[in-house]
Structure 1
Amino acid sequence: MSGPPTSSLRAWTRDLALGARFAFGGGRRGWTRTLLTGIGVGLGVALLLLGTSVPGALTARHAREDARSLFGATEARAPGRDTLLVARLNQTYRQQDIDGRVLHAEGPDAPVPPGLERVPKAGEMVVSPALGRLLASREGADLRERLGARITGTIADQGLTGPAELLFYLGDDTLPAPGQAEHRVQRITAFAGHPEPRGLDPVLMLLVLLTFVALLTPVLVFIAASVRFGGERRDQRLAALRLVGADGRTVRRIAAGEALCGALAGLVLGAGFFLAGRGLAGSLSFDQRSVFPYDLDPSPWLLLLVALAVPAAAVGVTLLALRRVVIEPLGVARTAAPRRRVWWRLLLPLAGLGLLAPLGTRSWRQEGINRWQAGGGVVLLLVAVTVLLPWLLERTVGKLSGGPVSWQLAVRRLQADSGGAARMVNGIAVAVAGAIALQMVFTGVEENYEAPTGQDPARAAVAVLMRMGTESHLDELAGKLAATPGVVRAVPLTDVRVARSVPADDQTSQLTIGSCEALREVAEIGTCTEGDAFVLSGGGLSPTGGPLTPAPGERIYAGNITSYGVRELPGEKPVEWTVPAGARTVRPVTDPGGRLRQGLLATPSAAPKDLGSWPAREVFVQTDGDRAETLDRVRTTAFKADPFSPAVTLAEVSENASYTAIRTGLFFGAAGLLVLISTSLLVSQLDQLRERRRLLAALVAFGTPRGTLGLSVLWQTALPVAVGLSLATGAGLGLGSTLLWVTGGSVRIDWVSVLALAGAGAAVVALVTLLSLPPLLRLMRPDGLRTE
């Protein structure tokens, strides 16, 4: 090793190659360390590739959805060779949303939806593979009964957003032409003339950015920690190289070569893990959202960045770790350097706050957020946890003394090398800090994306909205719904606009028609018999200053009052009607759908007749017993009566779909991160136990009880975890408060959720410790003293 001088490049090449020989040809210990490093790095690389592939997968998903969209589709007024009648027929079954379209080709050149070979004929149905499996299963029996059509084909991938999507196209030659009475039907000549806008407001964009940063930063921390597996055993081997003449720079380059090989092995394993995870992606569905495996395709520049950055980071981290290690021919000594200083560690959180602070003082909600500035600030604040934790752990364990033998063994080990313990806990601390911050932000802004609807599901679980032209079937439908098993009652109501003159413009009121039982859902009417009418109090004033609600005995018009003389429907003129002179004034109440009516109430015999297609009709359905099955029965009954009369499920709270999707993505991303954390911690724990094999065996040989050693290992894990989670909780609360200030939300701390997240981190570590006990017991056997 003391040959003639060589250039720096040749020296690096020679020493890196020697390090590679030690990594792969250094016996069982050498390749075991390389394998552990490769697994740790590979898991991080795989999750990094999967996480960064998600935006591209969502873009591909949206592109396929836009290709079949009816939003902005090219429409035609008259039928022709290239026109297609299409109407939405979405369904809900077992709390799953099913997208449906009804089609009728008016000519041989009618557009064909993506994924179909031809437009299905009347009575034919083409379904997605997932819907086909559902319809063929026992669980889909009620849905088969509802749809009823014969399945003649399967939708290809290019017509689906994902493999788990539930979608069908149904042929029907009885579709009416689009018009004022049938606004749900479109006549198109091509799909998706203009892509559907999918922009997110700045707050939601910030939430997406925070989610990715909070999930990927711990992955980077794990990758950096994984390249340092087996450091103590490696340093002893380097001391042997010093004994045969290698200088300090040479052994450091050899160590870098070993780390480089472990990182390269990690890249190979990470590619394998990524391909395996991508293959499983097609069988997973997150809140009915799924992606095809081939959509998870990282961009070439990202692959190149990972391929270069991971090996470079491995070499850099290794050289940085050896800066305080003195490798001499007769052994290894870690320099008794001054205690870790805190001043430079505080620069990271200060820099992060410096990047985030300006965002809260300007109107980025209108201008858009600077993603690099916001992301950089969050990354700095999270990385600050990793640099503060070693200092805090050193200060904490340095003051501990006394206690049981197991405690003293653990404390002494941490005092001798707190850095290794901090590295093991860094990832979980960063993950918990990010999770707490995100939970605070989601809680702080949820009131902007979750709003009470005023609906009362206890009074009515479903509202069936009848379309124009089916008014004669209202009572028949209500009877069928009431006879459905599990339904307590079905209340039909009819609403129609009324005015003193026509055309009415904006001086209109409303007339609600229903039985006495039905009218009690919208007003406190007291005693009621068929033939009664009522005036609702609080009707307001018209623009001219008069009351909007007609008075008893007044002659008014009902039905086609606003479009009469403008776009009059044949045979549907306004109906003259006199408000019964005996109509009593009653107080309105909110109906089950959350609506407070104004105007008039009338029982059927007192109401005007021949109102045509202008009234709006709905049936409120109250259920009992097994709600989920009953709701499906109600939807089936409504579908059979009229497929275009939607059964709307009533809910107390409505949620923004984008907000819900982001929150769902965060949940499943956090679940994947926990799996990575658990696996990486287990690998790290096994690596540390492997390096201490001889010491553990020697202690047992000298009479130390195995239980004492087991407890010492537990304390060595519990102490850093307690310190790390305490720091993570404080950092998460600080970051969350800062982000809420940036978004303008109120700072609220849900201590139950905070403690639950910290407890989840502690539970992961406890599980890893439990899984490491069997290897620990094997390492305590006397053959651990064997050496060469």
Structure 2
Amino acid sequence: MSARQWGRDLAMGTRYAFAGGREGWTRALLTAVGVGLGVALLLLTTAIPNALAERDRREEARSDHTFSQQKIPKADNTLVVVDADTTFRDLDVRGRLLEPEGPKAPLPPGVSEFPAPGEMVVSPALKELLTSGEGKLLRERLDYRITGTVGEQGLVGSQELAYFAGGKGLEKQLEGVASGARIDSFGNDDLGSSDPWDPVLLLLVLVVFVVLLMPVAVFIAAAVRFGGERRDRRLAALRLVGSDSRMTRRIAAGEALAGSVLGLVLGTGFFLLGRELAASAEVFRVSVFPSYLNPSPVLAVLVALAVPTAAVLVTILALRGVVIEPLGVVRTAKPARRRLWWRLLLPLGGLALLYPMVGQGDDGENFNQYLVVGGVMLLLVGVTALLPWVVETVVARLGSGGVAWQLAVRRLQLSSGTAARMVNGIAVAVAGAIALQMLFAGVEGQYTRASQYDVSRAQMSVDVPEGAVTSAIAGKYRDTEGVRKVTTLSDVYLGDRRGEAESIAQVTVADCASLREVATLPSCRDGDVFAVKGSEYDSGSDHLSKPGTTLWADPGDTRRSGDGWVSWTVPKDIRQAQSREDPTGFERGGILITPGALPEKLGAATSAQLFLSLDPSVPDAYDYVRNTAARLGPAVEPMTWNSIESNERYATIRTGLSVGAACVLALIGASLLVSQLEQLRERRKLLSSLIAFGTRRRTLSLSVLWQTAIPIGLGLLLAATVGMALGAVLLRMTDTSIRVDWPSVLSMTGIGAGVVLVVTLLSLPPLWRLMRPDGLRTE
């Protein structure tokens, strides 16, 4: 068969799709909408690498300092930058205080001019929050006059909360606890270099992409077969006028090609619309600008070629089992039973590809990305191959029941393939999600760990600014709404001699109540001194706590009390105490001193830290504390404690999975709804006939529900089985013990069932409109 004949037949099918009356263009439009939804998500996926690269580029371009940055002298082209980040409820706010030291000081990206002291420029999202009723507490903290907005080049996302405020005397803050630097330009090339990826995290990324994209491919393949039964009956007319079976299949492929090309156009439109709407959306704290979402040209061309090609191939393969004759289509007869053996080859082939990787997934040298992608794809495609056989085998054995049950079962027995295609996407998505959840749960211990902070004793901590009166600062926090308790611990390190000491002892200064947070005391009153035993860090310095020992404080630690060494002699009445973990999980050693026993000069050498216990019944207790800190110093931000610490890359991958899963679930719901409406449209005359014969609407509605519930139940059962098998293999690849995460299995299965239930409920109103006797009218 020549290429010219192929082209002529495909072109005829394309004309047939749009010039075949209402039936033809309705089917083409339904196919285009289904394909378009999938194409939009594919284009979004091809744009993700560029979006991530652009976010990194902008983060790098606005970088102002690093911990390892070299100090530069003051000049007319330097700028002092001090971090002023904060948190509002669970939202991170990026803040910088700026003080230009000359006319050539560099401007931050997105800022047209430096704000004066007391003024700030803010991101559009932060401006919206500050002017809303919800931002009242944050306005109290950011007590600056808004004079402008930060441009897109200074932000990594459209919904990012960020501001630049003018400051004065910031150079002095650099000598204290504030984080900042003097710079002569923005941008840091060091941010572009990073550590190589952990093979297990790379495995997670690969599996996430495969799992999220496979349902899209399945939906596109199902969409090009919308209206298959009515189309086949129309093709019978072509046989009647002389076309052979092969030509008829090519014409049908041309009709599918027309729908897929129209789907590419609609998909591009959906993508462009979603691209513009992306600026106003934030999913799991991730936002982008529309300019970020530019698909890679190579990947976009690949999508444009792959979708029509897949439409043609799927149609030709689907029609191989259909006999189209001039007087009808031999599909309504009992079809041949589906064979199982070749369907099992796909998942078995996937397992065979993954087997060499068992125990090697955490070894970078033996990690083969192609085997992983190929194996996971074959296992998930195996779900789509096995599901029609499972549905056909089960529904063939279903017994009698009520009228609604019999209508549903008989319909499934006649068209089990159509029912399986509807739920294939759900089954693939659920199987992949279950495997991923098992993998995440299995390796979570490698990338998350319990924090050393005891959140039952304190939930926040804050350093007392240098030069401030500790008791006054503690009183401010103690009077803050939502604070139940303030524990104040001051520290200074004393050596056994002037100059370079051989042994150093930690000295903790606090009142009796606070000292009981770090040691078990026999009794305590102001003026007592204790030697702490039991700490794993006090070995080698026990002799420093002997009565009469003279200890010395370094002049560098006593700059607030004047120059020169400060000495302190251990009193004769020092008592013994047993160490216990403080709220940070650290066991202190050395000496504990109550304020009454501390010399004034030595007290000036201490650095203090406050531990805050909050009242959980006060909703905004954390923000009240942050507001108090802002009033004490704009660059002082209390530290919020968490019970769990996680690896940043691991957390990013998990967030990416959540964002992608949300998009795929939206696609699943929309595509299922389109597919359900297409099925109802094809059965319009049948439904009208049943209504004309007196069948109740309730019975027909229940039969439609059963027709959806039976395949989806079987699909979810198969998905859970394949998902757990894939999850077990992935866990063995990472050399992790196999453990089924039953809550995740049940939750993902429930989410899949919930999506189908919502789609079924949304399809009921159109169903009721179709269930009218006048639907038998023929024009």
**Paired residues for 1:434-453 under 5 Å:** 434-453=432-451
C-alpha displacement at 1:43, in angstroms?
0.6
Q: Is residue 515 from structure 1 mapped to residue 502 from structure 2 by the alignment?
A: no
Distance 1:541 1:517, change over 3 A: closer
Q: Which residue of 1 aligns with 2:672?
A: 681
**Counterpart position of 2:100:** 105
1:641 matches 2:632:
yes
The one of 521, 531, 535 equivalent to 2:531 is 535
The 3-state SS of whatever aligns with 1:552 is coil
CA distance in structure 1 between the aligned counterparts of 2:471 and 2:648, rounded to whole angstroms: 35
Structural mapping, 1:194-213, within 5 Å: 194-196=189-191, 197-199=193-195, 200-213=197-210
Q: Which of 473, 488, 493 lines up with 1:492 in the alignment? A: 488
Q: What's the CA shift string for 1:548-594, capped at 9, x where partnerless?
A: 75223322123458x99xxx999444421112221211112222233
Residue type of the partner of 1:342? L
Question: Deviation string for 1:260-289 (max 9, x for gaps)?
Answer: 111011111111111111111111123432
1:14 maps to 8
Give 3-state SS (helix, strand or coil) of 2:601's partner.
coil
**2:551 partner letter:** I
Residue aligning to 1:295:
292
SS in 1 for 2:250: helix
- Contact between 2:404 and 2:699, CA under 8 Å: does it hold in 1? yes
Asked if structure 2 preserves the Cα contact closer than 8 Å seen for 1:550 and 1:556, the reply is no
**Once structures 1 and 2 are overlaid, which stretch shifts more, 105-114 or 259-268?**
105-114
Alignment of 1:77-92 (within 5 A): 77-92=72-87
| CA deviation profile, 1:11-41 (whole Å, cap 9, x unmatched) | 2233222212221121111111111101100
Structure 1 residues 737-761: Cα deviation after superposition (integer angstroms, max 9, x where no partner):
1111112333222222211211121
The question of 1:54 aligning with 2:21 is answered no
Question: Which residue, 139, 143, 151 being the options, matches 1:148?
Answer: 143
1:262 aligns with 2:256: no
Distance 1:569 1:506, change over 3 A: farther
How has the CA–CA distance of structure 1 residues 337 and 583 changed in structure 2, closer, same or farther, with 3 Å as cutoff? same
CA distance, structure 1, for counterparts of residue 257 and residue 497 of structure 2: 86
Q: Counterparts in 2 of 1:426-505, with a 5 A limit? A: 426-467=424-465, 469-470=466-467, 472-504=468-500
Measured after TM superposition, the shift of residue 659 of structure 1 is: 2.3
- Aligned-residue offset at 1:515: 1.2
2:34 corresponding residue in structure 1: 40
Show CA shifts across 1:316-351 (max 9, x none).
100001001111111000386642222222222222
Higher alpha-carbon deviation: 45-54 or 311-320: 45-54
Partner of 2:59: 65
Deviation track 1:714-736 (CA, whole Å, cap 9, x = no partner) reads: 22211111111100000111111
Amino acid at match of 1:156: G
Partner of 1:599: 590
Q: Conserved in 2, the CA contact under 8 Å of 1:424 and 1:681?
A: yes
Offset, 1:378: 1.4
Give the Cα separation in 1 of the matches to 2:595 and 2:738: 54
User: Where do 1:247-258 residues align within 5 Å?
Assistant: 247-258=244-255
The DSSP-based 3-state class of the residue aligned with 2:761 is helix
User: What's the secondary structure of 2:505's corresponding residue?
Assistant: strand
AA of the residue aligned to 1:222: F
Code of the aligned partner of 2:235: L
Match of 1:423 among 389, 396, 421: 421
Partners of 1:784 and 1:452 in 2: CA distance: 64
Match of 1:3 in 2: none
| 1:116 aligns with one of 71, 88, 111 | 111
Alignment CA distance shift 1:575-1:368 (3 Å): farther
Q: Secondary structure at the match of 2:480?
A: coil
Once the two structures are superposed, the pairs formed by residues 98-497 of structure 1 within 5 Å of their partners are: 98-176=93-171, 184-196=179-191, 197-199=193-195, 200-334=197-331, 338-362=336-360, 364-367=362-365, 369-467=367-465, 469-470=466-467, 472-497=468-493
CA contact (8 A) 1:555 1:576 kept: yes
Offset of 1:51 from its aligned partner?
2.5
Instruction: Tell me the secondary structure at the aligned position of residue 30 of structure 1.
Output: helix
Judge which range, 120-129 or 29-38, deviates more. 120-129
Which ranges in structure 2 are unaligned for 5 or more consecutive residues? none
Paired with 1:137 and 1:771, the residues of 2 have a C-alpha distance of: 35
Looking at structure 2, the residues matched to 770 and 548 of structure 1 have their Cα atoms a distance apart, in angstroms, of 78
Query: Displacement of 1:202 after TM fit?
Result: 2.6
**Counterpart-to-counterpart distance in 2, 1:182 and 1:81:** 26
Residues 400-426 of structure 1 deviation map (CA, whole Å, 9 limit, x = unaligned): 232233322222222222111111110
Q: 8 Å contact 2:59–2:156 — kept in the other structure?
A: yes
Within-5 A mapping of 1:527-676: 527-540=523-536, 547=542, 550-560=545-555, 571-611=562-602, 615-624=606-615, 626-676=617-667
Residue 81 of structure 1 deviates from its aligned partner by: 1.9
CA separation of 1:262/1:548 partners in 2, compared to 1, >3 Å: closer, same or farther?
Answer: farther
| Cα separation, partners in 2 of 1:740 and 1:363, compared to 1, 3 Å | closer
Greater displacement, 155-164 / 445-454: 445-454
- Residue 67 of structure 1: CA displacement? 0.8
With structure 2 as the length reference, what TM-score do the two structures score? Answer: 0.94
Partners in 1 of 2:341 and 2:528 — Cα distance? 83
| Aligned-partner residue type, residue 233 of structure 1 | R
For 2:184, what is the secondary structure of its paired residue? Answer: strand
Q: Deviations over 1:456-487 (max 9, x none)?
A: 333222211124x33x4211111111111222
Name the structure 1 match of 2:17: 23
Report which stretch shifted further, 160-169 or 706-715: 706-715
Distance 1:232 1:183 in 2: 72
* Partners of 1:539 and 1:549 within 8 A in 2: no
Supply the distance in 1 between the matched residues of 2:277 and 2:366 (Cα, whole angstroms). Answer: 36
Aligned residues: 775
The amino acid that maps onto 1:578 is T
Query: Aligned partners of 2:368 and 2:618: how far apart in 1?
Result: 47
Give the 3-state SS of the residue equivalent to 2:51 in structure 1.
helix
Q: Specify the SS of the correspondent of 1:346.
A: helix
**Counterpart contact for 1:410–1:712, Cα < 8 Å:** yes
Alignment deviations for residues 591-639 of structure 1 (CA, whole Å, 9 cap, x no partner): 2233221111101221244348863311112222544422211111112
The amino acid of 2:490's aligned partner reads T
Name the SS for the 1:509 alignment partner. strand
Percent identity between the two aligned chains: 53
Distance apart, 1:297 and its partner CA: 0.9
Look up the SS of the partner of 1:195 in the other structure: helix
Shift of the 189–700 alpha-carbon distance from structure 1 to 2, 3 Å rule, reads: same
1:760 aligns with one of 751, 754, 770: 751
Greater shift, 707-716 or 334-343, is seen at 334-343
Instruction: Tell me by how many angstroms 1:65 deviates.
Output: 0.5
**2:341 counterpart SS class:** coil
How many angstroms apart in 1 are the aligned matches of 2:165 and 2:753?
A: 52
Give the secondary structure class of the aligned counterpart of 1:103: strand
Is 1:719 the counterpart of 2:700 in the alignment? Answer: no
Match of 1:4 in 2: none
The one-letter code of the counterpart of 1:54 is I
Q: How large is the Cα RMSD of the aligned pairs?
A: 2.4
Range with bigger deviation, 128-137 or 771-780:
771-780
